[in-house]
Amino acid sequence: GLACLGPVTRGGCGALCVKAAMPCTGCFGPLDEVIDYGGKAVSYFASIVDYTDEEEIEKVLGKILDPMGIFYRYSLPASRLRGKITVAEK
């Protein structure tokens, strides 16, 4: 599947992505009072993963191929992340 950021995104675009059968990418920005959009998106996805086994959770969330690119596509410069972002070796 494809990650949809609609639940953590401000409305106003007319849901153009969704109407074109694409997931919402969050182009209208975060909901009011959200300080770190990517962090809120991560929290949203973690809240809908309905597993208790850590390996199963990692397997499901591991399917998100580019979490930084997805969750911070439009908001990285304003995020709470500071400094260089590195990818952990597996």
Q: What is the DSSP string of 11-25?
A: --S-SHHHHTT----
Six-digit token string for 80 = 């709470």
In contact, 63 and 70? CB cutoff 8 Å:
no
Indicate whether 1 pLDDT > 80. no
In contact, 83 and 42? CB cutoff 8 Å:
no
Q: What is the mean pLDDT of the chain?
A: 83
Indicate whether 90 pLDDT > 70. no
In contact, 25 and 66? CB cutoff 8 Å:
no
Q: pTM for this structure?
A: 0.70
Indicate whether 60 pLDDT > 80. yes
Cα–Cα distance for residue pair 12/10, rounded to 1 Å? 7
Tens-place pLDDT, residues 2-37: 778 888 888 888 888 888 888 888 888 888 888 888
